[in-house]
Amino acid sequence: MAEVASLPTSGEVFFDSRGEGRTLRVSWHHADGLVVLSLWHQGVCVGSFRLGADDVPALVEALVAGLGDGYLPLVAPRAS
């Protein structure tokens, strides 16, 4: 079994809603101009994606747009 690498100091871990030890790690590698998105299952990295730092704003914009499009009716203020 592969040894689990510790998360860099500049990053975040997100837990999959399905559980079972699934996580998404986001780690910044500033010296390389990258953010790495890696998929983990029970402590083992099963896939990764290296995104150039210049492309991060477009990814964030896509996530925000999708959140707004999909959830706007759920977060709209209730009528009094």
Neighbours of 38 (CB within 10 A): 19
pTM, rounded to two decimals: 0.71
Beta carbons of 53 and 34 less than 8 angstroms apart: yes
Is 58 domain-assigned?
yes
In this predicted structure, what is the pLDDT of residue 23? 95
Q: Which domain holds residue 62?
A: 11-72
- Those residues with Cβ within 8 angstroms of residue 63's Cβ, 6 or more apart along the chain or in another chain: none
Per-residue pLDDT tens for 4-37?
A: 556 656 789 999 999 999 999 999 999 999 999 9
Looking at per-residue confidence, does 9 or 72 come out higher? 9
Indicate whether 80 belongs to any domain. no
Please, which pLDDT band fits residue 44 given cuts at 50, 70 and 90? very high
- Let me know if residue 61 belongs to a domain: yes
Q: Would 2 be classed as within a structural domain?
A: no
Asked, for residue 37, whether it belongs to a domain, the answer is yes
- Evaluate whether residue 79 is within a structural domain: no
Does residue 74 or residue 60 have the better pLDDT? Answer: 60
Residue 73 pLDDT exceeds 70: no
Domain count, the chain: 1
Cβ-based burial of 40 (10 A; exposed 0-12, middle 13-18, buried ≥19): buried
Domain-located, residue 77: no
